Structure 1
Amino acid sequence: MKLEIGNFHVKDIMFGQKTFFQNGVLTINKQEALDFVREDEHITDADLFIVKPGDMVRLCPVKEAIEPRVKLDGRALFPGYTGELSQAGNGVAHALKECSVLVVGKHWGGFQDGLIDMGGEGAKYTYFSQLKNIVLVADTDEDFEKREQQKTNKALRLAGHKLAEFIANCVKDLEPEDKEVYELEPVTKRNEKTNKLPSVVYVMQPQSQMEDMGYNDLVYGWDANHMLPTFMHPNEVLDGALVSGSFMPCSSKWSTYDFQNTPVIKRLYQEHGKTLNFLGVIMSNLNVALDQKNRSAMYVAQIAKSLGADGAIVSEEGYGNPDADFVACIVALEDAGVKTVGITNECTGRDGQSQPLVSLDEKLTAIVSCGNVSELIELPPMPLVLGELEALARDGLSGGWANDELLGPSVRSDGSIVMENNAMFCGDQVIGWSTKTMKEF
């Protein structure tokens, strides 16, 4: 497979009379974009905003992030989901870089939604404060789930994915500033030099725990709960085969933007043929029952061993119950003779003193921590809020609360907030670009 991504680096975004890209400036016809969003009969209210790094703006409840892209041959950006099923990972796409489409609920949030501060102290907690963002703030007619803690957010998420492609159409016929090319030789057809290098696979465990459909990550539009671990070409992940779901405490979540730009995959590509032989991606899953977890771990180890992997990197989307899948997978790989590094966040409690993972094993000898989901964050009021800040306290966001006997409410009367890191949108970036570092005291 050969994937070429033509990059257009966005230096600024503004609204104007037409949607076009010129000299680094993305101009959007706001009314046309909103008319496009409202073509979905389930969208009852929508508005569009532009926020940039340093803006004193707070967004909540944030549901999804997508990089605007378009495929030059007319295929759907997210095959099997926003359009007809087709093979991802081949061909040419154009991408608007340094920006994203963010989807924010106008009122209702849930367990899986989060918060972004574009400026001030809170900006350091999430990667998305560094991007220029096109913010869709919308509501839907999905009344059946508005007061539910768990929401599929189906209409809102789909609106964001389609809007990202709609906006990117403006660069479809332009010449990109630079290009990224991703190509791997078939595993059994590599040259002698590459074959002598340590062989590495990347094991991804996207969210797939929910047995009710509509909440999990999608693979080619297919609910990942239906999936057994399978071998995938890394280009498929970078090219829209994976779409973020709507179930996961938010700091642990992988947005669609993260899949499109997976840093671990890009780094493994950089090292391929130099320091290692990048075999590809084993797309695994997260389960509920112990026998399901062990079955998936067994599959992963068998695929890795059959491919001839010497080493593996394992990333889990989530914590708590998924820790058991994460640990079982690493143990199975180690038992198969595959040296493994794990990437995860921790749930060590507000004081940092609790067990970091639900399940532990002495064979976990190399774990990269991306932070503590329970760490308390206190932030001052923000002059402008997009969405509804009260959702943090009212709607069961993982990291917010209506009232705490010691800390009071998450959202105070003056607009200041106190919450757990749990509610910071994709804040721990387990997929490879965490904004955090270790500090020794």
Structure 2
Amino acid sequence: MRLEIGNFYVKDIIFGNETSYRDGILSINKEEALKIVKEDEHITYADIVIAKPGDEVRIVPVKEAIEPRYRVGGGPIFPGVTGDLMQCGNGKTHALKGCSVLVVGKHWGGFQDGLIDMSGEGAKYTLFSSLKNICLVADTDEEFERYEQQKKNRALRWAGMRLAEYIGNCVKDLEPHETEIYELDPVTKRSKEINDLPNVVFVMQPQSQMEELGYNDLVYGWDCNRMLPTFMHPNEVLDGAMISGSFMPCSSKWSTYDFQNFPMIKRLYQEHGKTINFIGVIMSNLNVALEQKERAALFVAQMAKSLGADAAVVAEEGYGNPDADFIACIVALEDAGVKTVGLTNECTGRDGASQPLVTLDRKANAIVSCGNVSELIKLPPMKTVIGELKSLARDGLSGGWADDEILGPSVKEDGSIIMENNSMFCGDRVAGWSTKTMVEY
């Protein structure tokens, strides 16, 4: 499979009479864009606000991030979700780089939502502070889950995808600034020079813990809780096969933007043919019952061994219960003779003194840490809030609280906040963006 991603770099975003891209300037016709958003009758309120790096802006509750794209030759950006099923990862796709569509609740948040600061101390915690963000601020009539701590956010998430497709369409007839090419020969038809290199497989564990449909990540529109480990071409992940769900404390999650730009996949591509033979991706899952976890680990190990893998990288989306899947998978691979490195964050408590993962094993002796979900973060007030700041304390965001006997409420009267890293939107960047690690003293 050969995927060509044509990149259009966005220098600035403005509102204008048309949605267009010229000389690095993305112009958005807000009225047209909002019509696309409001195609879903469940959307009761919607606005679009632009937030740029350096702005004195705090955004909360953030639910999703998507890179605007266009599939050259036609077809949806997200097959099986925003349109008919079709193969991802082969052909040409145009991408607007340096920007994202952020889906933000007008009022109501939940356990899975997060916060972004566009400047100041908080900006260093999340990749999205460095992007120009097209914030879709919206509300719905989905009263059945308004006061639920865990929300599916379906209408809002789908509205964000429609908006990303609409904006991406403006570059359909243009020539990109540069083109990234991702191509792998079939596993059994590679040259001797490549086959003589160490064979490496990337094992991804997207969030799929919820047995009720609607919360989990999707693969071609299929709920990942209903799948068994599956061999996929890495191009499929980069080209819209994977959609972020609405579950998992926010610092640990992979947004759809992360799937579209997955750094670990791109890094393995960079080494392919030089230091490694990048075999491809085993898309696994995260389960609830112990038997399910063991079954998935056995499938992953068998698949990796059958593909001839010498080494593997395993990355989990989440922590806590998923740690059991993560460690079981590493152990099964090691038992199969596949040298394995893990990629995850940790939950070591606010003081950093707790056990980092729920379960551990001596065979999991090479783990890259992306940070501590429980780290306390104190941030001063921001001049502007997009969304509603009260949601951090009121709505059960995983790193916020209404009151604490020692720390008081997360949101102070002056607009300053104290929260756990848990609430920082994709803050631990487990996809491979992370600049953080843990230090042993």
CA shift, 1:140, in A, is 0.6
Residue 14 of structure 1 corresponds to which residue in structure 2? 14
1:30–1:48 Cα contact (<8 Å) kept: yes
1:127–1:435 Cα contact (<8 Å) kept: no
**Relative to 1, partners in 2 of residues 1:326 and 1:440: Cα closer, same or farther, differing over 3 Å?**
closer
Residue 76 of structure 2 corresponds to which residue in structure 1? 76
> What is the TM-score of this pair, normalised by structure 2?
0.99
1:47–1:138 Cα contact (<8 Å) kept: yes
CA shift, 1:435, in A, is 3.1
Residue 310 of structure 2 corresponds to which residue in structure 1? 310
Q: Tell me if 1:145 matches 2:145.
A: yes
Letter of the 2:227 counterpart:
M
1:126–1:435 Cα contact (<8 Å) kept: no
Distance across 1 between alignment mates of 2:439 and 2:285:
32
Distance across 1 between alignment mates of 2:318 and 2:438:
20
Map of 1:38-437 to 2, 5 A cutoff? 38-437=38-437
Distance across 2 between alignment mates of 1:184 and 1:339:
22
2:372–2:438 Cα contact (<8 Å) kept: no
**Relative to 1, partners in 2 of residues 1:249 and 1:224: Cα closer, same or farther, differing over 3 Å?**
same
Letter of the 1:319 counterpart:
Y
Distance across 2 between alignment mates of 1:436 and 1:156:
31
Letter of the 1:398 counterpart:
S
Gaps of 5+ in 1: none
**Percent identity over paired residues:** 76
2:70–2:168 Cα contact (<8 Å) kept: yes
2:129 is paired with a residue whose SS is: helix
> What is the TM-score of this pair, normalised by structure 1?
0.99
**Relative to 1, partners in 2 of residues 1:327 and 1:282: Cα closer, same or farther, differing over 3 Å?**
same
Distance across 1 between alignment mates of 2:184 and 2:42:
41
Letter of the 2:272 counterpart:
H
The superposition leaves residues 2-48 of structure 1 with CA deviations (integer Å, 9 ceiling, x where unpaired) of 11110000011111111110111101111111111111111100000
Gaps of 5+ in 2: none
1:5 is paired with a residue whose SS is: strand
Residue 24 of structure 1 corresponds to which residue in structure 2? 24
Distance across 2 between alignment mates of 1:21 and 1:59:
25
The superposition leaves residues 129-166 of structure 1 with CA deviations (integer Å, 9 ceiling, x where unpaired) of 00011000000110100000000000000000110010
> What RMSD, in angstroms, separates the aligned Cα atoms of the two structures?
0.8
1:124–1:435 Cα contact (<8 Å) kept: no
Distance across 1 between alignment mates of 2:433 and 2:122:
17
Distance across 1 between alignment mates of 2:117 and 2:126:
8
Distance across 2 between alignment mates of 1:39 and 1:266:
35
Residue 36 of structure 2 corresponds to which residue in structure 1? 36
CA shift, 1:438, in A, is 4.8
Distance across 1 between alignment mates of 2:234 and 2:170:
27
The superposition leaves residues 184-242 of structure 1 with CA deviations (integer Å, 9 ceiling, x where unpaired) of 00000000000000000000000000000100000000110000001000000000000
Distance across 1 between alignment mates of 2:360 and 2:268:
27
What stretches of structure 1 move > 2 A for 4+ residues in a row? Answer: 437-441
Report how many aligned residue pairs link the two structures.
Answer: 441
Letter of the 2:387 counterpart:
G
